Structures are given as C-alpha cells and as structure tokens.
Amino acid sequence: MKLAQRMDRILVESAFEVLVRARALEATGRSVIHLEIGEPDFPTPAHIVEAGKAALDQGWTHYGPTQGFPELREAVAAHVSSTRGIAVGPEHVSIVPGGKPIIFFPMLALLEPGDEVIYPDPGFPIYQSMIQFLGATPKPIPLLERRGFSFDLDVLRDRLSSKTKMLVLNSPQNPTGGVIPAEDIRTIADLVRDRDLIVLSDEIYSRIYYGERPASIASLPGMREKTIILDGFSKTYAMTGWRMGYGVMPAWLVEAVNKLMVNSNSCTASFTQRAGIAALTGPQDEVTRMVAEFHRRRDAFCDGLNHIPGIRCARPGGAFYAFANMTETGMDSNTAADFLLNEAGVACLSGAAFGRYGEGYVRFSYANSHQNLMEAVKRIESALVTAAASRS
C-alpha cells in the first residue's frame, strides 16, 4: 500500500533517533552521557504526582470536556493573565495532550497551500515539518549568534509579504537557549500589528530563564487578539510523559481547535488534567529549585566548553540547551555530533537537524547531573586532543 504523498513532506525529531543510536552503543558496553534529549531530568513534583494518583482513585478515568475542565482552564487563564499582563478568560484556553498539538491544530486550522509561514532557523523541527506537510511555504529566518540568537530583524522585514499568514516565535528557544530581547519583541509587534496574520508564540520554556524574564508578544497593545500562546506542563513541572499542554488564543480559533480535538483525541486525559490543576495552583518552590539548578549547570557547562580549544559556546538566557559553535574544529555539524557520540561517548544533536542555519553547531541538553556534565566536558576535550594529535 502506498502512503499518501503528503507523508513525503513530514519530518521527525532527530533526538529520538540519536537516543536509539546511543542506546545501541551502550548495548556494546560503551558508556554514553546523554545530552541529546530535551526533557528535565527531575521527577514530577510529589504533590502533583499525589494529585494524579488521587484523581485515579476518585474516578477521574472517563472522558472530559473536549476543551478541558473548566477549573483547569480557569487556572491557566489566571496564570497567563498574571504572567503576561493581559486579560484572558477560560474561553480563550484549549487544553490539549502536550504543547505540540498547539503547533499541529492551529496550523491545520489556518494554513493552506500558498500561505507563507515565517519561523526561526535553527528552530524546533516540528514547525517546518507541519508547514510543509500542509502544503504551505516555509520561510525560515536566521537566528544570529551575535544577537544572542535573536532574529535578524532586517531579514524578517524583507520576508514579510501579503502571503504571510503566520509568524512563529519561540523564546526561550530550542535549540539555542536564546531569549528574544523585549526590544526586539516590540519591533516585531510593530512590524506585524497591522498585517492580516497570526503569531504563534511558543513559550513552552517561559518559566526556565536566567536573566531578564522573557517578554511575550501577546502582552503588547493590539497583539493578544492575533497571538496564539503555546505553553504547558512538560518542561516547567517535568511532566513530559503526562502529555498535557495548552494554547491561549482568540475564541474563534479555540472553536476550530475543539473540532480538531473531537476528531482526534476527544479530550486530554482526565486524571492528568486534575494533576495539572495541582501543578498551577500548588506550591511553586520545586520549579524555582529546578531552574536554580539548571542555572548552576549552565554556567559550569558553558564555561567548561569554552575552555576547550575549537569550541565556543554563548551562555544561553533560557531553556536547558547549550548551542556550541564547532566551526573551529573543522567538522561540520553532523560529523561533530557523530564524532562526539562515537569518540567521546557524549550524545548530542547536530545543529543542522534544526535547519540550515544551525550548520556549524551542536546542541547539548544540560538536563543531566552536574557530575555527568563535567565528565562530558572532560571526554569532549580529550577526544578532540587525541584526534588533533593523530592528525599531526
């Protein structure tokens, strides 16, 4: 049986492929430090787990409302209103199984062949995948290391056209860890405010930052009405396996997302949603502790990498990724990632897997113990020194 032609246009995430290769290497007895997967290495906070267990005991094991339980949507609306300084209500909130459906469903509801979508490159591969899957035209904008991995705003200005239907922003960013400065967000809002387009603002890492709090474009005048905020529980509360996220968007788009949810999932798991209420309304000190630990690791890991000849790594402002510039090693991204796995026993991702402007870089996730990160730095340095010695 032949697959539909559109399946030729869908992409996958390389993190899962690298994990399989790293595990195969481990099966041969090699030790591998896993810096490829993008999820917190902390457990879900105990009070959230308890709320999930209690929900199962209490019988929250049936279908729930497609849009999500009203109490959870109220909690999300209150959280988003206070953190973004805007007035949103439960009618603007869609609860879905993870952050990803807030890329999938709104794009499915909005994009048609011929529409152009602007998105960051390097960027989360699912944006490009979905854009081309739907027959729309991908318009990548390079992120610049010298601008803290923010957009090249001149290129953005040039790429906006009457066909631009959507602009994707992601801050803090995957794979660079970059945070878009508030001033750039203001400039971007001024560029798009009067255009007939919608902004998909992927803020899944909104609580994981180390300096200035990341600004949301939805907070700026006239922007709430034309912005979809993507956020969720996976990264903030170490809940990647619970599958729960949310979108905050205009009510007319919530209706469309509801229809797509009815046709695909019916609803997000009921007991998961009850745990989500506990996550948002309960104590937040474990989030604070986790972010403080990521901060400590970021500093130690980036400093360690910067001491290795041939590697340069800007200290990222958020998320838990270090995007290291490998160009001085003479290896391209794919070669560097393979080299680090096979010769150093350190699994990471090729920057090129995030788009053509990711060439020259590799992404390390520092969601691993301080001890493993320091060991990874040692191994990388020693593998590079050995390789240089064998060449000379």
- By the criterion CB under 6 A, which residues form the site for ligand PLP? 38, 98-100, 124, 170, 174, 202, 204, 232, 234, 240, 245
- The residue among 106 and 345 lying less far from ligand PLP, judged by its C-beta, is 106
- The residue among 253 and 349 lying less far from ligand PLP, judged by its C-beta, is 349
Tokens of 363: 């992404």
- The residue among 124 and 301 lying less far from ligand PLP, judged by its C-beta, is 124
Provide, rounded to whole angstroms, the least separation between the CB of residue 386 and ligand PLP. Answer: 33
- Whether 317 contacts 386, CB under 8 Å: no
Provide, rounded to whole angstroms, the least separation between the CB of residue 309 and ligand PLP. Answer: 31
Q: Which helix (H) or strand (E) holds 379?
A: helix 370-391
Chain position whose Cβ is nearest to ligand PLP:
98
- The residue among 15 and 340 lying less far from ligand PLP, judged by its C-beta, is 15
Rounded to whole angstroms, the Cα distance separating 357 from 352 reads 7
- The residue among 174 and 329 lying less far from ligand PLP, judged by its C-beta, is 174
**Residue indicated by tokens 């255009």:** 195
**Residue indicated by tokens 């203001």:** 186
Give the DSSP letter string of 229-273: EEEESTTTTT-GGG--EEEE--HHHHHHHHHHHHHHTSSS-HHHH
Provide, rounded to whole angstroms, the least separation between the CB of residue 159 and ligand PLP. Answer: 20
- The residue among 227 and 329 lying less far from ligand PLP, judged by its C-beta, is 227
Provide, rounded to whole angstroms, the least separation between the CB of residue 342 and ligand PLP. Answer: 25
Find the largest Cα–Cα distance for the chain. Answer: 68
Provide, rounded to whole angstroms, the least separation between the CB of residue 38 and ligand PLP. Answer: 4
77: Cβ contacts below 8 Å, ≥ 6 apart: 88, 89, 90, 92, 93, 248
